[in-house]
Amino acid sequence: MTTKRILNGIVGDYLDGTGNELATEMALYQNDGLQVQRFSTNKSLCILVHGLVDDESVWLKDDVNYGENMRRDLELVPLYLRYNSGLHVSTNGKKLNSLLQSLSSPGSPAREIVFLCHSMGGLVVRSACSYGLEQDAVWTKRVSHVIFLGTPHQGSYWEKAGNILTNSLDFIPRPYMKLAAQVGNLRSDGIKDLRYGYVRDEDWNNGDQDALLNNTKTKSNLLSWASYHVVTGTITKNPNNFLSQMFGDALVHKLSAQGHSENDDHHLPFVDEDFCEFPGIHHQKLTSDISIYEKIREWISQPCAPPVLPDKPDLVTLDCDDLAEETVHAASSRGSYDDCKGGSKLVHESIHAGVTAVGKVQRELTSEVYSILSKFCLIAPVVKKVQVVHEASVDAVYASILAVNSASATIAGFAIEEVKKRRQEDGTTVVTYE
């Protein structure tokens, strides 16, 4: 699972776009791994949303488990969102909005929905709320609190630095430098959205995502009835230390997490009373610290009543407890084969792309050398003959590598299917979905 979530964060848009089996599908889960099918009547819910290159395991710590603590102390039912963090934030936001609507069925509305979001997860929730607000989705009316833990509302300095680096490499007129820039720009759409904290489609689809520090962010609305709370950490125990002032919690700067911006359309009007800084707690530790949990509990305990819903049964019966155990096991069995198949495909495609790119760079560099030598009249005829033989030999080598890679991918796919078939013949449960 660790490798899969990291791959989804780094190249999840590619996995999704190519239909690779490693691409994570968005779903809500209980802490025991059962997938939520529908909401339970009149339950107060806390939906915990992970960040980049993570999954729900970031919340399920033995020392401090925010979800289970809220179940015990506040009678909230914790549900954990899993999603492909390499997709655009706005894509995941629309998926979450659709998911919350699709899980709804006729019945009484959930009493309350609380979002607890880490890092990128806060952007995804803001995006979902923005799209839900446009569609007048009923679930948005039940949102009472949204808590952000180190969310880069105004972007991350690391992604800005990455953008500067790739543009600098691309500016250098050497093939291998341009290749390095192209490789750097292969990072996922989700990562690139962290440059300025994009949450809407129109933030990114009207410009070049790889252009140098080109901020095309638009305005997104908050839920006027919900309470928003912000938690930040610092690298050092002294928040006034130079490192903490410069780098915040090591990934997100304090001002970005607070939503501050000189652009009125980008500024988020969070109130100071709903902000709390925890010195000495770095970015990843924000999801499992007892002092942070106590502050979260204090905030959620404060009364915050969302608008009353109309007298019609148009949202939520949701029950997480009626999934058959064998269904989960069957899905897990299927998932292991899918992951192997997806991993094999990704390795094959990566080798193919890498060999092709390196071959192109080598041919360009070789051509430069022969171009210089051919300017000497005495040896020019010989140089041209050597160049033809050399280039043909190089092309043959790379073609051989690509052929072996293709054959290996075919054999690996066949082997995976054979193992799956033999397990089925042996009586091992493997469920195939149409």
Q: Which two tokens stand for residue 243?
A: 């490192």
Contact 152, 140 (CB under 8 A): no
Which CATH number fits the domain that encloses residue 105?
Answer: 3.40.50.1820
Evaluate whether residue 266 is within a structural domain: yes
| Residue length of the chain | 434
Domain hosting residue 254, numbered range: 3-156+222-301
Final residue before a domain boundary, out of 271, 301, 331: 301
HSE (side-chain half, CA atoms, 13 Å) at 208? 7
C-alpha radius of gyration, the chain, whole number? 26
Question: CA-to-CA distance for 127 and 76, rounded, in angstroms?
Answer: 23
Phi, psi of 136, deg, nearest 5? 55, 40
* pTM, entire model: 0.86
Q: How far apart are CA 134 and CA 128, in angstroms?
A: 10
How buried is residue 432: exposed, middle or buried, by Cβ count under 10 Å (0-12/13-18/19+)?
exposed
In a domain, 192, yes or no: no
Bridge-based pairing of strands 27-29 and 77-82 is antiparallel
* Residue 21 in domain: yes
The number of distinct structural domains making up the chain is 2
Kindly state whether residues 122 and 247 are assigned to the same domain: yes
Residues 150 and 58 occupy one common structural domain: yes
Is residue 93 located within the same domain as residue 226? yes
Q: Are residues 18 and 84 in the same domain?
A: yes
Return the structure tokens found at 296: 């979260």
Q: Are residues 281 and 371 in the same domain?
A: no
Q: What is the pLDDT along the chain (434 residues), one digit of tens a residue?
A: 678 999 999 999 999 999 999 999 999 998 888 888 776 657 789 999 999 999 999 999 888 999 999 999 999 999 999 999 999 999 999 999 999 988 765 454 567 899 999 999 999 999 999 999 999 998 999 999 999 999 999 999 999 999 999 999 999 999 999 999 999 999 999 999 999 999 999 999 988 999 999 999 999 999 999 999 999 999 999 999 999 999 999 999 999 999 999 999 999 999 999 999 999 999 999 999 999 999 999 999 987 655 555 444 333 444 444 433 333 332 343 457 678 888 888 888 889 888 888 888 888 888 888 888 888 888 888 888 888 888 888 888 888 998 998 888 888 877 877 777 776 666 544 333 23
Q: How far apart are CA 244 and CA 15, in angstroms?
A: 36
